[in-house]
């Protein structure tokens, strides 16, 4: 028997996580397992509006961090918590680790500060499982080189993404039970199968 589970995907821009989020969601629906797919920032009406403000305006790092936390608080309260209570599987493209890596490390605001403002907004809710789609900053940059329509944060250069990456690596060391590393340079279907295998063990373990 399965239970409600909160699964997040993390990684540098261009790591392929959005593709894997969709593949996992499609798999769960095909198996008749109640699931929802969300993205951050966004996923709820007000959170999507906050996403536009973040992406379309040149704002200070502090404003940026607070807006990500506000979008997350709204998403958690209005969608994630009710879905988990209804025993759904929540598959979320990014969550709090993104704020720690991007705002805490890359923008230099500090991991503890970011954790604190987020704790205020969402309490102690953390994903049950986080897949860290691991590609190097160089590979990330290469994948984004030919992309069009990059947002304000995706357009940051190598030095910024190197700091994001070091944030993710520290988080991986800090939360070894929650964060599962995936070699994101592998083949898409192979990665999907690895993810499914891992999740099925969680779903049917009790």
Chain residues binding ligand TMP by CB under 6 A are: 13, 39-41, 68, 93-94, 98-99, 102-103, 151, 153-154
* Closer residue to ligand TMP in complex, CB, 20/83: 20
* Closer residue to ligand TMP in complex, CB, 83/118: 118
- Give the distance, in angstroms, between the CA of residue 188 and the centroid of all CA atoms in the same chain: 18
* Closer residue to ligand TMP in complex, CB, 13/162: 13
Alpha-carbon torsion (108, 112, 115, 120), positive or negative: negative
Which of 153, 160, 166, 98 is CA-nearest to residue 127?
98
Q: 127 and 74 in contact (C-beta within 8 Å)?
A: no
Beta carbon of residue 200, minimum distance to ligand TMP (angstroms, whole number):
26
d(CA 7, CA 90): 6
Beta carbon of residue 72, minimum distance to ligand TMP (angstroms, whole number):
7
Residue nearest to ligand TMP (CB): 102
- Is the preceding omega at residue 9 within 30 degrees of 0, hence cis? no
* Closer residue to ligand TMP in complex, CB, 81/144: 144
Beta carbon of residue 151, minimum distance to ligand TMP (angstroms, whole number):
6
Beta carbon of residue 40, minimum distance to ligand TMP (angstroms, whole number):
4
d(CA 24, CA 91): 8
């Amino acid at each position: 028997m399965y239970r409600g589970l909160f699964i997040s995907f993390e990684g540098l821009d261009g790591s392929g996580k959005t593709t894997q989020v969709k593949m996992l969601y499609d798999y769960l629906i095909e198996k008749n397992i109640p699931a929802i797919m969300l993205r951050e920032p966004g996923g709820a009406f007000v959170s999507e509006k906050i996403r536009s403000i973040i992406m379309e305006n040149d704002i200070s790092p502090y404003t940026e961090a607070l807006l990500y936390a506000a979008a997350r608080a709204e998403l958690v309260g209005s969608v994630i918590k009710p879905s988990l209570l209804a025993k759904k599987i929540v598959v979320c493209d990014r969550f709090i680790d993104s704020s720690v890596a991007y705002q805490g490390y890359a923008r230099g605001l500090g991991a503890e500060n970011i954790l604190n403002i987020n704790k205020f907004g969402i309490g102690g809710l953390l994903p049950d499982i986080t897949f860290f789609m691991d590609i190097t900053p160089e590979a990330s940059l290469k994948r984004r080189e030919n992309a069009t329509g990059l947002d304000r944060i995706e357009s940051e250069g190598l030095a910024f993404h190197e700091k994001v990456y070091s944030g993710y690596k520290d988080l991986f060391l800090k939360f070894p039970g929650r964060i599962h590393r995936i070699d994101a340079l592998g083949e898409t279907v192979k990665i999907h199968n690895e993810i499914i295998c891992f999740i099925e063990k969680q779903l049917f373990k009790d």
